[in-house]
Amino acid sequence: MYLKVLLYMDSNQEQIQNLSEIRNLMERSSRFLSLSGLSGISAGIIALLGAGVAFFYLDYDERYFSINRYFIDKLDLFFQSKIGFLIADALIVLVLALGSGIYFTTRKARRNKLKVWDSTTKRMLINVFIPLSAGGIFCLALLYNGIFFLVAPATLVFYGLALVHTSKYTLPDVRILGISEIITGLVASFLVGYGLLFWAFGFGILHILYGAIMYYRYERKTNLSVHNS
């Protein structure tokens, strides 16, 4: 027994190293760590541009409207002629944001010499897509039934839920972003006339903000050390 303790005392340094290796393996095997803050920033910028296009495409009446007017004046009839353009706009934003996200995340993984596609990636994507596809189908149901004014809040709430759910499998900061998106969506679902503004805030401003925080927290140091070496 004494001998063992003595042996351990000698190998203290080794045990500390073992512990840090254990921690590292636990993180690396269970979380997708290559998610880049830059992908949040670029997705946010793209979302703001997309919202800007929609903003100028719509007439003043349609940018903000009161829910009473929506039902009494059949504001939805105005929208229906423009809804095709708005959906196309949203889809382009989605594709560009996803594309830039994949680009920056792949770049970060390559810099850190991690694999982009492994079991943590798969698990993260599966967990993102379950709530997100439920939300997508729900929004299609809203469009189908002509309830356009709840589409923006619904996308925000479902996206936030997807992020909160997925944060277990990637960087923990994603959870706070998710909660912010849910709150934004819930507020927007009461102030229904301002969907476009809330949408721009949730998908634009919040992404840029949290992307910047994550970038400074996880990537700036490693990039600097790469440049220095």
- Is 29 an interacting residue with respect to another protein (CB under 8 A)? yes
Q: Please, which of residues 49-88 interact with another protein by CB under 8 A?
A: none
Segment contacting another protein by CB under 8 A, of 2-10, 41-49, 102-110, 170-178:
2-10
Alpha carbons 96 and 116: distance in angstroms, whole number: 19
Helix (H) or strand (E) holding 28: helix 12-30
Alpha carbons 18 and 16: distance in angstroms, whole number: 5
- Is 9 an interacting residue with respect to another protein (CB under 8 A)? yes
Contact 150, 142 (CB under 8 A): yes
Question: Contacting another protein (CB under 8 A), which of 6, 10, 21, 173?
Answer: 21
- Is 91 an interacting residue with respect to another protein (CB under 8 A)? no
How many other β-carbons are positioned within 10 Å of the β-carbon of residue 9?
9
Alpha carbons 34 and 87: distance in angstroms, whole number: 31
Instruction: State the minimum distance, in angstroms, from the CB of residue 89 to another protein.
Output: 40
Segment contacting another protein by CB under 8 A, of 12-20, 85-93, 129-137, 145-153:
12-20
Q: Please, which of residues 113-132 interact with another protein by CB under 8 A?
A: 115, 118-119
Give 18 or 80: the residue with its C-beta nearer to another protein.
18
Instruction: State the minimum distance, in angstroms, from the CB of residue 122 to another protein.
Output: 10
At 20, list the tokens.
């840090």
Question: Contacting another protein (CB under 8 A), which of 2, 6, 10, 22?
Answer: 22
Alpha carbons 204 and 181: distance in angstroms, whole number: 11
- Is 10 an interacting residue with respect to another protein (CB under 8 A)? no
| Residue 190: C-alpha distances to residues 185, 206, 207, 214 (Å) | 9, 20, 22, 30
- Is 15 an interacting residue with respect to another protein (CB under 8 A)? yes
The 8-class DSSP code of residue 168 comes to: G
- Is 216 an interacting residue with respect to another protein (CB under 8 A)? no
Alpha carbons 121 and 112: distance in angstroms, whole number: 15
Instruction: State the minimum distance, in angstroms, from the CB of residue 28 to another protein.
Output: 7
Least Cα distance to 126 among 165, 158, 171, 173 occurs for: 165
Give 119 or 223: the residue with its C-beta nearer to another protein.
119
- Which residues are at the interface with another protein (CB under 8 A)? 1, 4, 8-9, 12, 15-16, 18-19, 21-23, 25-26, 28-30, 115, 118-119
